[in-house]
Amino acid sequence: MRSINENSVGFVETKFYSCCEPPNELILSSGEKLGPITIAYETYGTLNKDKSNAILIFHALTGDAHAAGFHKGDNKPGWWDNMIGPNKAFDTEKYFIICSNVIGSCKGSTGPSSIDPKTKKPYGLSFPIVTINDMVATQKKLIDHLGIKKLLSTAGGSMGGMQALSWSVLFPEYLDSAIIIATNTIHTPQQIAFHEVARQAIKADPDWQNGDYYGKSIPARGLAVARMMGHITYMSDKSMQEKFGRRLQNKEKLGYDFSSDFEIENYLKHRGDSFVQRFDANSWLYLSKALDYFDLSEGKKLSDVFSRSLLKFLVISFTSDWLYPPYQTKQIVKALKVNEIDVSNIEIDASYGHDSFLVETEDQSRLIEHFLKRVTKEQ
C-alpha cells in the first residue's frame, strides 16, 4: 500500500444520501420523474462553525465522488488528489471539500445500472434521460442535507465545468464564486459528433442487447472503442508526439499486417480494455447525451443568463485543448464582462490537451489558491 504523506487527506470513505422518495420524486428536465435517488459523495477537511468554507467539486464524464485520498485496500488516489489536500489548491486545512457522483453514472449514485424499485431489476434503458441541470438539482439537495446555506465556491473541469456553470445560473444566491475549467456553455456539432460515433460503437456491439445486458456478457468491445475515441480527444497532437511518436511496440520493423505495430495503438487498446472493467456502457450513453443536451443559455443571449449573478468567477483554459478550445471559454468571459461581473480569465500554456486540467496542476493550483484566498477575504 502506498504510504500516506502529510499533504494527503489520507484514508476516506464514500458516503450515501437518499432523497426524492415517492411521491416527492425529482421532476427532470424531460418532465419525467425520478425517485428514490441515491447520491454517493465524499468530503475532505472540516466544515467550520458558520459553515462558510464549503466548496463543491464536480467530476468529468467518467469520474466519481472519489476526488482525493485513498480507499482502504486501494493503492489508487482520488482523481484530483494532486489538487485537494493540506497545502494544495483546495486546502483541506482551510476548506471543507465535497464531491458527489452525478446521477446517471455507475459509481454509487442512481443510474441505469441501479435497481428499479418497481421491477426489482436494473433500469437499463428504462432509466430516464438526465441533464446537467438535473445533476445540479440533486447536488443542491445534498448541500441542503449537509446544512450548508451558501457555498464558498464550486469548481470543475470538462463536464464538471458545465455543472459549475449550471450552479451559477440556477442557484447564484447559494454560492460566492465559481471556478470554470476547460469547458463550454453548449456542445458544438463537432463535440456532439465525437460522442455519437462512440455511442454507435457501443450500440453496434451485439452484447449491448438494447441496454439489457446486466447479468450477461457486457458490450466490452463497443465500450472499449468508445473509450479509445474519447481518449484521443482528451490528448493533443503534441502530447501524443512526445509520448509515443511513431515508435513500434515490441518489434523492430513494420509487420505489414493488421496487428498493432505502433505504441499508440497498444496504448489506446489498453485504455479501452481497462475502462470496461470500471464503467458501465449505458452510463456512458446517458452521460454523453447529457453533455450534448447542455445549453446554458437555452435560446437566450448568453450574457442575459448571468444578469442576476453577483458571483466572482475564475475561468481557466489550456492552449492545447482542442476538445474545449480556449475560444469557447472566452465567450463565457465576454458574457460575464458585459454584466460587469468580477471574472479572472487565464489561458495556461500546456501540451497535455484537454486532460491538462487533471495533470497540469502547478499553474492551475497557484491560480485557484490565490482566487480562493481573495473570495474568502471578501466574503
Task: Compute the chain's Rg from CA coordinates.
Answer: 21
64, 261, 321, 355: the active-site residue = 321
Give pLDDT tens digits for 256-289. 999 999 999 999 999 999 999 999 999 999 999 9
* Residue 145 a catalytic site member: no
158, 166, 177, 356: the active-site residue = 158
If we measure between CA atoms, which residue out of 281, 279, 278, 338 comes closest to residue 307? Answer: 338
Compute the average pLDDT of residues 329-349: 97
Give pLDDT tens digits for 134-170. 999 999 999 999 999 999 999 999 999 999 999 999 9
Residue 3, pLDDT > 60, answer no
Give the burial string for 158-184 (b: 16+ CB within 10 Å, else e): bbbbbbbbbbbbebeebbbbbbbbbbb
CATH number of 15-187+296-377: 3.40.50.1820
Query: From the centroid of its chain, how far is CA 176?
Result: 21
Cβ distance 177 to 343 under 8 Å?
Answer: no
Cell numbers representing residue 295 in the block: 445549453
Q: Give residue 1's pLDDT.
A: 43
Cα separation, 111 vs 143, whole angstroms? 20
Contacts of 304 (CB under 8 A, 6+ apart): 297
Helix (H, G, I), strand (E, B) or coil at 344: strand
Cα separation, 183 vs 132, whole angstroms? 13
* Residue 354 a catalytic site member: yes
Cell numbers representing residue 169 in the block: 445560473
pLDDT band for 4, please (50, 70, 90 cuts).
low
- Delimit the domains of the chain by residue range: 15-187+296-377, 191-290
Tell me the residue type at 255.
G
Give CB contacts under 8 A, 24+ apart, made by 344-347.
Answer: 344/313, 344/314, 344/315, 344/371, 345/315, 346/314, 346/315, 346/316, 346/317, 347/316, 347/317, 347/318, 347/319
Residue 187, pLDDT > 60, answer yes
If we measure between CA atoms, which residue out of 300, 291, 185 comes closest to residue 233? Answer: 291
Assigned architecture for domain 191-290: Orthogonal Bundle (1.10)
* Residue 205 a catalytic site member: no
